[in-house]
A and B are shown apart, each in its own frame.
Chain A
Amino acid sequence: MTTMPVQGQNGPPTVVRVERLRKVFPGVVAVDDVDLDIREGEFFALLGPSGCGKTTLLRMIAGLEIPDGGRILIDGADMTFVPPNRRPVNMVFQSYALFPHMTVAENVAYGLKVEGLPREEIARRVDEVLRLVRLEGLAARRPEALSGGQRQRVALARALVKRPRVLLLDEPLSALDAKLREEMQLELSALQARLKITFVIVTHDQDEALSMADRIAVMRAGCIEQVDEPEGLYERPVNRFVASFIGRINMLEGAVRDTTGDRIVVDVAGMGRLPLAADMPLTRGQAVTLAIRPEKIAMRRLADLGAPAANGLRQRAQVDADRVVVAARVSEWAYYGDISYMVTHTLAAGLRLAVVFANATRETVEAFDIGDEVVLSWRLADMLLLTS
């Protein structure tokens, strides 16, 4: 497990601190004793499959759900049972929840109006925030006369105009089509960088989390599995769930053969003994998973290798000090334009290995076909050793 950031320790201070937070719905523990620190000015993502409790956690921070245990601190003040209208946080709802009987400007002004601010200040701040989300021209429109992307901006403006300490976003982009979603991802990131407000976003879309967030918490069944930066999550996942939830990954089942100093030798059926540089308290014979990302596997045609070498590889994989080389046959092929995704099965043992490569030249696409024999190779240093 990654270490939890501690308040005051190198870097910005904590804005939201969640301590042993718990929420039980009839028949299911939605949030199970979760601890979490969200730092000042960061773009934080709660990522997980549907039903993992990420939205419940967000709603508890907003005050829309009352926890069954634990505490929520915002800027050090206990907010666990403070009603949502008296918390310094605002939320962008998944459905946007715009008020249909109000215009865009009235929707945005509503939060300031209930605060009882003077009329001139409301008008000024509404103008300012509408310019920020590029909706100046649509102030007099009604929500039903807006596109999905525009509605999303209104919901964003309505929350931002309150100048919250933390902006909570519940699956804000899930209702948009792919192209618009990509645009809004960039825009949200830019907005957050400019305003320096802490954003907490809930999403089930890993691309969204990876591309926007400074740090991500991966959740499963009410628990946080790992909190890390996007790169850390992708390159150093702590368990099988995180490894397979973020991106694509090949997993090979094996057993520990030897643990000598900083080296662990793992026996993988049909591939041989793989020596990995790792320092983990493992016992001989313990079942482990070795994982390798598809884009970290290089692929060549087996025919280019020459007959003797090719024949040798057909029989068994070749493991050097720092590389694994295996022969395989292409069984599936998906073309995505920019990349190709291929599923292969090793010739010797029939292990399934997926490979992703960039279609860097037009010829790359034509080099391989289904049924072709290929050589796959990857660095041992790129492999992950997972025990849980």
Chain B
Amino acid sequence: MGMTGGMTKDMAGAKRTGGGRLRFRRWRWRRPVAPLDYGRRLWLRLWVGTVLVVLHAPIVVLMVFSFNNSKRNVVWRGFTTKYYVKAWHNESLFEAFTNSLVIAAVSTVLSVIIGALVAIALWRFRFPGKAALDGAMALPLVIPEICMGVAMMVFFARIGWPVGLPWPLSLGSIIIAHVAFSFPFVAVVVRGRLAGFHREMEEAARDLGASEWRILVDILLPWLRPALVAGALLAFTLSLDDFVVTFFTAGPETVTLPVKIYSMVRFSVTPEVNAASTVLVLITVLVTALALWMQRPERLAGKAAGTVADEGGRA
């Protein structure tokens, strides 16, 4: 719309309501706000902006102060990257970081397998005790994490879980604890996807000669792919940043990054802590971005076509 037309109307508006509303009115005159045009309502924009600031400002501050050239890290004293170097050379911090990644990777794989199988079993079959299993599976979602942590600690002490195993095996108890609280999340996501699965597809595959196993591999798993990726992502981030449960199951030799950061904070909040936290945040963001990228519709399409062609080649 022409600027001049808008101006004359704005003048009239300005006379009535005062200068403060002039800008807003001109903007409104260009195109009326449609009923569902929420993005153009000022109060909604302000609200969303406030929420975003409250949510993310602390993280931004954390990241910015990881570059602060000050040991006490209260006031900004200039830019430096030396605390990243320091964190990198901090052997116990690096070890905790490695532990975290190994635990997250292994517990993610186990959680996805167990979670998907539980979801498929609860969806596919009718068996005695199904309702009980359904409820029991959801328990770790609602039990307070602190209780879970204490329970895990008592459990491992009671059964006499061996302490002092060589390195990757020493993480076993933490991995088991992580799988216990993250596989229900995978199961929930997978069940959601299963609810949209058309049973006629399964029948069609069977009618075309497929066995139960081929139906699972050829039809059901490709259908579940997005849910499996989403579930894996959930399990990975849950494991990577878990503090409470890990705190109760970790020994002196098996410290993870969140536990390590906590112990560092107890002495003093140096930019080194900020640097380690920033790395943790970045990894989480990167993994999320990777998962989203892997789920692009066009990539899914290409991938599925490739898989089938390969199998055709083998047949």
Count of chain A residues near B, Cβ 8 A: 36
Is there an interface contact between A85 and B209, defined as CB atoms closer than 8 Å? yes
Give chain A nearest CB distance to B222 CB in angstroms.
4
Partner of A117, one of B208, B218, B301, B315: B315
Give chain B nearest CB distance to A105 CB in angstroms.
9
Q: Given that A111-B209, A114-B210, A119-B313 are known contacts, is A97 also in contact with B218, CB under 8 Å in the complex?
A: no
Tell yes or no: B207 within 8 A of A by CB: yes
Across the interface, name the chain A residue whose C-beta is closest to B221. Answer: A101
* Chain A 109-121 per-residue mask, 1 if CB under 8 angstroms from chain B, else 0: 1110111111100
Instruction: Flag the segment in B1-9, B230-238, B273-281, B304-312 that touches A.
Output: B304-312
Instruction: Flag the segment in B56-64, B122-130, B195-203, B261-269 that touches A.
Output: B195-203
Is there an interface contact between B208 and A111, defined as CB atoms closer than 8 Å? yes
* Main secondary structure on B side of the interface with A: helix
> Which residues does chain B contribute within 8 Å of A89, judged by CB atoms?
207
Q: Given that A97-B198, A113-B312, A119-B313 are known contacts, is A84 also in contact with B305, CB under 8 Å in the complex?
A: no
Is there an interface contact between B308 and A97, defined as CB atoms closer than 8 Å? no
Q: How far is the CA of A118 from the CA of B315 in the complex (A)?
A: 7
Give chain A nearest CB distance to B312 CB in angstroms.
6
* Chain B 155-181 per-residue mask, 1 if CB under 8 angstroms from chain A, else 0: 000000000000000000000000000
Tell yes or no: B141 within 8 A of A by CB: no
Q: Given that A111-B209, A114-B209, A117-B315 are known contacts, is A93 also in contact with B218, CB under 8 Å in the complex?
A: no
> Which residues does chain B contribute within 8 Å of A80, judged by CB atoms?
none
Tell yes or no: B98 within 8 A of A by CB: no
Is there an interface contact between B201 and A97, defined as CB atoms closer than 8 Å? yes
Partner of A91, one of B201, B204, B211, B219: B204
Tell yes or no: A106 within 8 A of B by CB: yes
Is there an interface contact between A114 and B305, defined as CB atoms closer than 8 Å? no
Across the interface, name the chain B residue whose C-beta is closest to A62. Answer: B207
Give chain B nearest CB distance to A160 CB in angstroms.
11
Across the interface, name the chain A residue whose C-beta is closest to B214. Answer: A114
Partner of A84, one of B206, B301, B315: B206
Is there an interface contact between B200 and A93, defined as CB atoms closer than 8 Å? yes
Q: Given that A102-B308, A106-B308, A119-B312 are known contacts, is A93 also in contact with B204, CB under 8 Å in the complex?
A: yes
Across the interface, name the chain A residue whose C-beta is closest to B200. Answer: A97
> Which residues does chain B contribute within 8 Å of A95, judged by CB atoms?
198, 200
Is there an interface contact between A110 and B218, defined as CB atoms closer than 8 Å? yes
Q: Given that A97-B198, A106-B305 are known contacts, is A91 also in contact with B207, CB under 8 Å in the complex?
A: yes
Tell yes or no: B248 within 8 A of A by CB: no
Q: How far is the CA of A83 from the CA of B209 in the complex (A)?
A: 9
Q: Given that A106-B308, A142-B301 are known contacts, is A90 also in contact with B208, CB under 8 Å in the complex?
A: yes
Tell yes or no: B223 within 8 A of A by CB: yes
Contacting residues of chain B (221-268) with chain A, CB-CB under 8 angstroms: 222-223, 225
Q: How far is the CA of A109 from the CA of B311 in the complex (A)?
A: 12
Q: Given that A95-B198, A97-B200 are known contacts, is A110 also in contact with B205, CB under 8 Å in the complex?
A: yes
Is there an interface contact between B304 and A102, defined as CB atoms closer than 8 Å? yes
Is there an interface contact between A122 and B305, defined as CB atoms closer than 8 Å? no
Is there an interface contact between A103 and B305, defined as CB atoms closer than 8 Å? yes
> Which residues does chain B contribute within 8 Å of A142, judged by CB atoms?
301
CB-defined A-B contacts under 8 Å, sample of 13: A64-B203, A84-B203, A84-B206, A91-B207, A99-B205, A99-B219, A101-B222, A101-B304, A110-B210, A111-B208, A114-B210, A114-B218, A162-B208
Knowing that A97-B201, A102-B308, A103-B308 are A-B contacts, what are 20 other residue pairs whose CB atoms are under 8 Å apart, sorted by A's residue number?
A64-B206, A64-B207, A90-B207, A93-B204, A97-B198, A97-B204, A98-B201, A98-B204, A99-B218, A99-B219, A100-B223, A101-B222, A102-B305, A103-B305, A106-B312, A113-B311, A113-B312, A114-B210, A119-B313, A122-B315
Q: B residues engaging A (CB < 8 A)? A: 198, 200-201, 203-211, 214, 218-219, 222-223, 225, 300-301, 304-305, 308-309, 311-313, 315
Which 7 A-B residue pairings sit nearest by Cβ, starting from the closest?
A: A111-B208, A97-B200, A97-B204, A101-B304, A101-B222, A85-B209, A114-B209
